Amino acid sequence: TVPAVADIFSADDLAVARELREQALAGDGGYEIVADLTTRIGPRLAGSEADPRAVAWAERLLTEMGFDRVWLEPATFPTWHRNLERAQITEPVAFDMVTLALGFSPATPAGGLEGEVVMFDDLAALEAAEPAEVKGRIVFIRNRMRAARDGSGYGPAVQARSIGARVAASKGGLALMIRSIGTSSNRFAHTGTQRFDADTRALPAVAISNPDADRLERLIAMGEPVRAEIEVDAEFIEAYTSHNVIAEITGSKYPEQIVALGAHLDSWDVGTGALDDGAGIAIVTEAGRLILDLEQRPDRSIQIIYFAAEEIGLWGGRAWAEANADNFHNIQVGAESDFGAGPIYEIAARVSDQAWPVIKAIQAELAPLGIELGDRRASGGPDFIPAAPYGMAAIDLRQDGLHYFDYHHTENDTLDKINPEELAQNAAAYAVLAWLSAQSPIDFGSGETLLDEEAARAAE
């Protein structure tokens, strides 16, 4: 039988949770950590020269902070880097556009390629097009991302980026050019990966800034044929090995049981990866530091995981899930911070029926931070998606992302976009979450329990 929500945690554990919350709010949320990361390391694309510098920075930081254990875990992946990209309209008037190649775009011939531009409203329109409309042309997809607190406009719009090039290739297109998948009208292009497989590299693919897309649309509306020139130089790297960096606060009663807080250390190669995901690094590290500074160790172990190579395909998360394939009964719960630095407004969780009251009890301690109880659908964040098939229990602390996609994956993702007070609210929530999850008298159900319950629910 499940205890009443109010009785789940001991008075002592609740007192510590409240102390952690207040301490976090009085601090900077780890702002100095993300300031240091973005100043000393800057952009850190997986497999770039900055990748090992970032890993070394992280290992040193976590070691100096005094975690009980700090170690590296390898992750091997294909990667890519850009040398140059340009996109220009050549007819009926000539102009340069602000552009970025999309991840895994192949190079064009040196000097670029040139062709007529054919515009589609969205990926579905391209999918419905006759090959004759596309063949030999530069495909321009103009779909606009909708801004929303929960970021729900991203999924529909990003399809054009994820698979636009392969759809265009299948109809004989020359290259893909998309309106940036972002919510700002600032003149930055938005990069990001394409869904990776052998086909992905078939067609050069770029995003143009939203003001440039506006101008292109107006030009097309004038009715004369519009021609463009695109040049990309980029390199595909078959295999690179980077590392997840993991720091542990070892549990005093159940050291083998893990509460996993995550963020990803890599970033895109433009901007300095401040919001994505330096902020997450700061938040979970600050949460860990506060718990580390307690006079007591938690019952369970708490791990802070800096994932490698999230941006180009969740490779650090995949490696971690595979490494823990036989251990998910011990991974109590995972939660990653990877949605910028906006305040958290909701806690959602994928946990067993028995553990749902624990989430309610945790939410009661998050309520003073303005955090409400959400639903029972949670991924835990992108790097825990590869753990989903193993039935890992996952918690989402949902952040206000209304402006996240104004900056995400652009040159403009820099430290000044982070508000230390909002960062502190995040750190407070993660500290409370981690501490109470480590003290919970009830298991979260990771592994067979959760998979069995979900299978039973699906069969009903």
Query: Where does this chain bind its own copies (CB under 8 A)?
Result: 35, 38-42, 93, 95, 98, 185-188, 210-211, 214-215, 218-219, 222, 271-272, 411-412, 414-417
User: Which window, 136-144, 201-209, 231-239, 306-314, contacts Zn ion (CB under 5 A)?
Assistant: 306-314
Closest contact distance (angstroms) between CB of 155 and its own copies is 24
User: Which one of its own copies, Zn ion, none interacts with residue 214, CB within 5 to 8 A by kind?
Assistant: its own copies
| Token pair belonging to 5 | 């929500």
Which long-range contacts (C-beta less than 8 Å, at least 24 apart) are formed by 186-189? 186/210, 186/211, 186/406, 186/410, 186/412, 187/98, 187/211, 187/212, 188/98, 188/410, 188/411, 188/412, 189/98, 189/99, 189/100, 189/410
- Of the candidate spans 176-184, 271-279, 359-367, 421-429, the one that interacts with Zn ion by CB under 5 A turns out to be 271-279
Is 29 in a helix, a strand, or coil? Answer: coil
Contacted entry of Zn ion, its own copies, none for residue 276, CB cut-off 5 to 8 Å set by kind: Zn ion
Q: How far apart are CA 93 and CA 90, in angstroms?
A: 6
Residue 269 in contact with Zn ion, rule: CB under 5 A: no
Q: From Zn ion, its own copies, none, which one binds at residue 115 (CB under 5 to 8 Å depending on kind)? A: none
Residues in 324-343 that interact with Zn ion by CB under 5 A? 338
Gap between the terminal Cα atoms of the chain: 23
Q: 54 or 75: whose CB is closer to its own copies?
A: 54
Q: How far is the CB of 285 from Zn ion (least distance, A)?
A: 16
Among 13, 59, 269, 277, binds Zn ion (CB under 5 A): 277
276, 340 Cβ separation under 8 angstroms: yes
Decide whether 188 or 306 has the Cβ nearer to its own copies. 188
| Nearest to its own copies of 37, 62 (CB atom) | 37
Q: State which residue, 266 or 443, has the beta carbon closest to Zn ion.
A: 266
Nearest distance from residue 332's CB to Zn ion, in Å?
Answer: 23
**Residue 211 interacts with, from Zn ion, its own copies, none (CB under 5-8 Å by kind):** its own copies
Which residue is associated with the tokens 């964040």? 381
User: Which residues pair with residue 82 across a beta bridge?
Assistant: 234
* Residue 25: contacted member of its own copies, Zn ion, none (CB under 5 to 8 Å, by partner type): none
Q: Measured between alpha carbons, how far is 275 from 402 in angstroms, rounded to an integer?
A: 13
User: Which residue, 26 or 222, has its beta carbon nearer to its own copies?
Assistant: 222
* Binding partner of residue 220 among Zn ion, its own copies, none, CB cut-off 5 to 8 Å per kind: none
| CA–CA separation, 441 and 300 (whole Å) | 10
Q: Which residues contact 164 (CB under 8 A, 6 or more apart)?
A: 123, 126, 139, 141, 176, 178, 205
In the numeric block, the tokens 């143009």 are attached to 208
Closer residue to its own copies, CB minimum distance, 99 or 440:
99
Please state, in angstroms and rounded to a whole number, the distance separating the CA atoms of residues 304 and 334. Answer: 10
**Residue 95: contacted member of its own copies, Zn ion, none (CB under 5 to 8 Å, by partner type):** its own copies
User: Which lies closer to Zn ion via its Cβ, residue 270 or residue 392?
Assistant: 270
Which does residue 396 bind out of Zn ion, its own copies, none, counting CB within 5 to 8 angstroms by kind? none
- For residue 414, the partner it binds in Zn ion, its own copies, none, with Cβ less than 5 to 8 A by kind, is its own copies
Q: Which does 277 bind (CB under 5 to 8 A by kind): Zn ion, its own copies, none?
A: Zn ion
Tokens in use for 361? 């009890």
Element holding 87 (H helix, E strand): strand 69-91
Nearest approach in angstroms of CB 270 to Zn ion is 11
- Pairing mode of beta strands 95-97, 344-350: unpaired
218 vs 457 by CB, closer to its own copies: 218
CB atoms closer than 10 angstroms to residue 18: 13
Which residue stretch of 12-20, 212-220, 270-278, 411-419 sits at the interface with Zn ion (rule: CB under 5 A)? 270-278
For residue 35, the partner it binds in Zn ion, its own copies, none, with Cβ less than 5 to 8 A by kind, is its own copies
Which DSSP string do the residues of 367-412 spell out, in sequence order? Answer: GGGT-EE--S----SGGGGGGGGGT--EEEEEE--TTHHHHTTSTT
Partners of 97 in beta bridges: 87
Q: Which residue, 112 or 278, is less far from Zn ion as judged by CB?
A: 278
Judged by CB, which is closer to its own copies: 39, or 152?
39
3-state secondary structure of 26: helix
Query: Are 225 and 116 spatial neighbours (Cβ–Cβ below 8 Å)?
Result: yes
Q: Which of residues 336-375 bind Zn ion (CB under 5 A)?
A: 338
Cα–Cα distances (Å) from 191 to 110, 123, 178, in that order, read: 21, 17, 10
Whose Cβ is closer to its own copies: residue 36's or residue 68's? 36
CB of 183 to its own copies, least distance (A): 13
Q: Which residues bind Zn ion (CB under 5 A)?
A: 276-277, 311, 338
